[in-house]
Structure 1
Amino acid sequence: MPRFVDRVVIHVKGGDGGNGCASVHREKFKPLGGPDGGNGGRGGSVILVVDPQVHTLLDFHFRPHIVAPSGKQGMGSNRDGAAGEDLEVKVPDGTVVLDENGRLLADLVGAGTRFEAAKGGRGGLGNAALASRTRKAPGFALLGEKGEARDLILELKTVADVGLIGFPSAGKSSLVSAISAARPKIADYPFTTLTPNLGVVSAGEHTYTVADVPGLIPGASEGRGLGLEFLRHIERCAVLVHVVDCAAPEPGRDPISDIEALEAELAAYTPTLQGDSTLGDLAERPRAVVLNKIDVPDARELAEMVRDEVAQRFGWPVFAVSTVTREGLRPLTFALWEMVASYRAAQPEILPRRPVIRPVPVDATGFTVEPDGGGGFVVTGERPERWVAQTDFNNDEAVGYLADRLARLGVEDELLRLGAKPGCEVTIGDVTFEWEPQTPAGVDVVPSGRGTDARLNQSERPTAAERKAARRERRRPSGGDV
């Protein structure tokens, strides 16, 4: 049986960027023809796309993990790795994207609307792209950047022109079925409707949509009943219609008290969209009142008695209808269309959103250095953290290249200014270093063999040549001298 799901938590991850390639061109009579390692391909991004054929978030309920393809590694002969394809994920019209803290990220309305949920990582540069005047044949390449990973909340807010609200068993589902081709479940017990029902209504040459919101009760804005689950579906409605059951058997209830109780819940409800909604605040939406079930004699008498009083107290148009005999339905459908059309026409024109480009200030360093409270320092910033993540720490030349980049950015000077001592721990991203200020970072590189850096020879770490010799020693067969 199909299920209606209107709120899910998904885990999205962009594809990782491919690693760059460290290669040297070799051919006959050209043993060292220069670096020719290609760049790694970028990782694919996860993109949410509005599709009119999708009406629920059910697929995400069963498959919440979404991962985009990663980029391929670069190869020799200047061959770049293939980029990972963007993964387009279809979502219903009216989907709202929130972060883990409930902050609004995107309001997806209209077929084809797109939102980049997780960005793919950049591909690492090959050694051909890293060659310079002083480093003519780099013996290293940059690693690919990891794709963005985060948790998102998707909420579906029904896109409808008219929202029907009322107490349970007020006849909202019957009204939708009577004025449209929708066939919602109808029964004589409260909370029959557990999911919003959407119907298309024809008023002459015009059509509009009507949403049946599950029954509300006092305290709905605080979570009682089904209030918080479905109050969100009225946020996009241009017109709100109070459906009042004039044949309600409960003592102490009357149409005016029912309307006032629901209006108090609407006033207490805080919409997620708030100022970002193009329809404004809920209190400003046009209202109408439908006095339902006048086919019952007592209900008709009550409707005639309170009709003028409701119109005078609230100032809204009032309609007396019967979904059984269809009395009063035709004037109601045309009146609702006029209210929808006039309200839509009064709203400002929605202009396509333009991308906002915020240039980085000239004097911005792009990083910050703060003490960690234990004698060390923590460096934060987009560029330093990305550079560290792209560095192969098993390659001395790559580590020296990283030191040069950090020195040119000003990290060394900032550490000295803050009083960093030799040997103190400096953390950038997920890597912690022992800072050695005597390393002449930022100066011209003295060639010392591919994969090595003369500035790091004094460190206790084994060099690339030492590691290669150790591997040969381990592979040498045992059994005495030969």
Structure 2
Amino acid sequence: MTTFVDRVELHVAAGSGGHGCASVHREKFKPLGGPDGGNGGQGGDVILVVDQAVTTLLDYHHSPHRKATSGKPGEGGNRSGKDGQDLILPVPDGTVVQDKAGNVLADLVGQGTTYVAAEGGRGGLGNAALSSARRKAPGFALLGVPGGLQDIVLELKTVADVALVGYPSAGKSSLISVLSAAKPKIADYPFTTLVPNLGVVTAGSTVYTIADVPGLIPGASQGKGLGLEFLRHVERCSVLVHVLDTATLESERDPVSDLDIIEEELKQYGGLGDRPRMVVLNKIDVPDGKDLAEMVRPELESRGYHVFEVSAVAHMGLKELSFALADVVAKGRAAKPVEEATRIVIRPKAVDDAGFTVAREEDGLYRVRGEKPERWVRQTDFSNDEAVGYLADRLSRLGVETELMKAGARSGDGVAIGPEENAVVFDWEPTVMAGAEMLGRRGEDHRLDEPRPATQRRRDKQAERDEAEKEYDDFEPF
């Protein structure tokens, strides 16, 4: 039997970006044709999409770890890597996405509504894309950025206009079965209904949905029975209907006390005080049930409830109830504010927003946080001196060095870029000593310049040999 699951914890991982390629074009009679390394592919996103055909979160209960594919690395010959495929995860209509702390990230209502749960990493640039007039032959490429990771909680809240609440075996499922085409499991023992049932009702020109909430008993709001598990399914409903059993076999129960107990549970759960209420006295086909309904009806009406006497088994009073519900639903829809067209809001950054922050921690370490510097660090191949120098250039142009000096950093102080659990830590040396300029004019290769006369080439080679011999003569062993 299919199990109904309406709350799961999901671990999603987007695909990582592919690494860029560092390559030099070579062909016959042209051994140095310039950089031709391609870019890495973009990592795939993890996207939640509302699908009306999906009614449960069971698949994610059994397989809570989902990962999109990563981008392929770039190749020589200016061939970019293939992008990773997005991972599409269908979810039921009415799914609420939360983080582990309970903060709502998205409320997915309506067919096709999407939410990007984890963004794919950027692909690294190849050395062809990094070349410029100043950097003609980069000997490095950028690494791909790892994909995003997120632990989220999916919680399903049924999207219905009318919610039926009441004790087990009060006749809620029977009522749905005769008002709509829904065919829920029905039996004469408590907790027959283990999942919320949903039906579509047509009354005149109004079409509305109706759902029952199983398992409400005293203490449901504190987790007793099945109530707490399913009370979330009444949050979206615009009308609450109390289904009261007028033919119960339990001597200590009566319709009025049942109503008071269920109302107290709804109050304890919270957030439902503004919903209009109606009362349905069910099972009036039973003689004692009819008598009890006539006895308690005046008291219920004196409390302000609109009361209906029905029998789901004998199909008594259903038409009046159906049209009354349609009238309340139509009024509720008309009272909702008209949704305005989507507005594009542009929020430019402040003129003094540098895009990063520098803060000194208690242990004297200076920590740099910001989207750009952290991403640049992840893209750097630290085994390549030229790539490290390129990173230093980028950080210097961004103003990180200036802000470190303003914060009081001195030569040799520890600097960390990134969060505490995943940071790059180094000893800071300002300006030239930082290493940004010590590597010289990175990415330039005089062999790619215009051809020089043979005499000049011989002079240059002799100068290189003389310089090499001088460095060898100056070398002193340990």
Tell me the TM-score range normalised by the shorter chain: 0.7 to 0.9
What amino acid maps onto 2:428 in structure 1?
Answer: W
Structure 2 length-normalised TM: 0.87
After TM superposition, the structure 1 = structure 2 runs for residues 425-444 of structure 1, keeping only pairs within 5 Å, are 425-429=414-418, 430-437=423-430, 439=433
Aligned residue in 2 for 1:96? 96
1:181 aligned onto 2:174: no
Bigger mean CA deviation after superposition, 184-193 or 210-219: 184-193
Q: Give the Cα–Cα distance (whole angstroms) in 2 for the partners of residues 449 and 364 of structure 1.
A: 31
Aligned residue in 1 for 2:194? 194
Q: 1:186 to 1:255 in 2, by over 3 A?
A: same
Residue 134 of structure 1 contacts residue 445 of structure 1 at CA under 8 Å; is this kept in 2? no
After TM superposition, the structure 1 = structure 2 runs for residues 68-83 of structure 1, keeping only pairs within 5 Å, are 68-83=68-83
Match 2:298 to one of 277, 300, 308: 308
After TM superposition, the structure 1 = structure 2 runs for residues 254-293 of structure 1, keeping only pairs within 5 Å, are 254-270=254-270, 282-293=272-283
3-state DSSP of counterpart to 2:66: strand
Aligned residue in 2 for 1:144? 144
Bigger mean CA deviation after superposition, 386-395 or 430-439: 430-439
Identity %: 65
3-state DSSP of counterpart to 1:362: coil
Match 2:406 to one of 408, 417, 425: 417
Bigger mean CA deviation after superposition, 368-377 or 293-302: 368-377
Match 1:407 to one of 392, 396, 403: 396
What amino acid maps onto 2:34 in structure 1?
Answer: G
Aligned residue in 2 for 1:386? 375
Gaps of at least 5 residues in structure 2 are: 446-478
Q: 1:258 to 1:5 in 2, by over 3 A?
A: same
3-state DSSP of counterpart to 1:308: helix
Q: Give the Cα–Cα distance (whole angstroms) in 1 for the partners of residues 296 and 359 of structure 2.
A: 69
Instruction: Give the greater-gyration-radius structure (CA).
Output: 2
Match 1:447 to one of 441, 444, 447: 441
3-state DSSP of counterpart to 1:439: helix
Q: 1:336 to 1:178 in 2, by over 3 A?
A: same
Bigger mean CA deviation after superposition, 34-43 or 430-439: 430-439
Q: Give the Cα–Cα distance (whole angstroms) in 2 for the partners of residues 355 and 4 of structure 1.
A: 39
After TM superposition, the structure 1 = structure 2 runs for residues 54-73 of structure 1, keeping only pairs within 5 Å, are 54-73=54-73
Aligned residue in 1 for 2:249? 249
Bigger mean CA deviation after superposition, 327-336 or 10-19: 327-336
Bigger mean CA deviation after superposition, 357-366 or 241-250: 357-366
The Cα offsets for residues 292-337 of structure 1, whole Å up to 9 and x where unpaired, read as 1112222211111121221121x23110011221111121112111
Residue 138 of structure 2 contacts residue 442 of structure 2 at CA under 8 Å; is this kept in 1? no
Structure 1 length-normalised TM: 0.86
Q: 1:262 to 1:301 in 2, by over 3 A?
A: same
After TM superposition, the structure 1 = structure 2 runs for residues 104-253 of structure 1, keeping only pairs within 5 Å, are 104-253=104-253
Residue 10 of structure 1 contacts residue 152 of structure 1 at CA under 8 Å; is this kept in 2? yes
3-state DSSP of counterpart to 1:155: strand
Q: 1:355 to 1:108 in 2, by over 3 A?
A: farther
Q: Give the Cα–Cα distance (whole angstroms) in 2 for the partners of residues 59 and 30 of structure 1.
A: 57
Q: Give the Cα–Cα distance (whole angstroms) in 1 for the partners of residues 397 and 270 of structure 2.
A: 49
After TM superposition, the structure 1 = structure 2 runs for residues 311-322 of structure 1, keeping only pairs within 5 Å, are 311-313=301-303, 315-322=304-311
Q: Give the Cα–Cα distance (whole angstroms) in 1 for the partners of residues 213 and 104 of structure 2.
A: 23
3-state DSSP of counterpart to 2:397: helix
After TM superposition, the structure 1 = structure 2 runs for residues 28-67 of structure 1, keeping only pairs within 5 Å, are 28-67=28-67
Q: Give the Cα–Cα distance (whole angstroms) in 2 for the partners of residues 87 and 31 of structure 1.
A: 43
Q: Give the Cα–Cα distance (whole angstroms) in 2 for the partners of residues 352 and 174 of structure 1.
A: 41
Q: Give the Cα–Cα distance (whole angstroms) in 1 for the partners of residues 123 and 443 of structure 2.
A: 26
Aligned residue in 1 for 2:349? 360
CA shift for structure 1 position 416 = 2.1
Q: Give the Cα–Cα distance (whole angstroms) in 2 for the partners of residues 28 and 56 of structure 1.
A: 63
CA shift for structure 1 position 200 = 2.1
3-state DSSP of counterpart to 1:208: strand
The Cα offsets for residues 189-238 of structure 1, whole Å up to 9 and x where unpaired, read as 22221111112223245432211111312332222222221011011112
Q: 1:355 to 1:69 in 2, by over 3 A?
A: farther
What amino acid maps onto 2:415 in structure 1?
Answer: V
1:330 aligned onto 2:319: yes
Q: 1:16 to 1:352 in 2, by over 3 A?
A: farther
CA shift for structure 1 position 284 = 2.1
Q: 1:356 to 1:17 in 2, by over 3 A?
A: farther
Residue 407 of structure 1 contacts residue 441 of structure 1 at CA under 8 Å; is this kept in 2? no
CA shift for structure 1 position 440 = 5.2
Q: Give the Cα–Cα distance (whole angstroms) in 2 for the partners of residues 40 and 199 of structure 1.
A: 50
Q: Give the Cα–Cα distance (whole angstroms) in 1 for the partners of residues 379 and 373 of structure 2.
A: 10
3-state DSSP of counterpart to 1:325: coil
Gaps of at least 5 residues in structure 1 are: 272-281, 452-482
What amino acid maps onto 1:234 in structure 2?
Answer: V
Residue 397 of structure 1 contacts residue 450 of structure 1 at CA under 8 Å; is this kept in 2? no
Over the aligned positions, Cα root-mean-square deviation in angstroms equals 2.1
Residue 221 of structure 1 contacts residue 227 of structure 1 at CA under 8 Å; is this kept in 2? yes
Aligned residues: 440
CA shift for structure 1 position 446 = 2.4
Aligned residue in 1 for 2:471? none
3-state DSSP of counterpart to 1:284: coil
3-state DSSP of counterpart to 2:273: helix
Q: 1:441 to 1:394 in 2, by over 3 A?
A: closer
The Cα offsets for residues 413-465 of structure 1, whole Å up to 9 and x where unpaired, read as 222222323333221123211222252566697236789xxxxxxxxxxxxxx
Q: Give the Cα–Cα distance (whole angstroms) in 2 for the partners of residues 298 and 13 of structure 1.
A: 60
Bigger mean CA deviation after superposition, 321-330 or 4-13: 321-330
Q: 1:357 to 1:88 in 2, by over 3 A?
A: farther
3-state DSSP of counterpart to 2:426: strand
What amino acid maps onto 1:342 in structure 2?
Answer: K
Q: Give the Cα–Cα distance (whole angstroms) in 1 for the partners of residues 46 and 125 of structure 2.
A: 23
Residue 19 of structure 2 contacts residue 73 of structure 2 at CA under 8 Å; is this kept in 1? yes
Bigger mean CA deviation after superposition, 30-39 or 153-162: 30-39
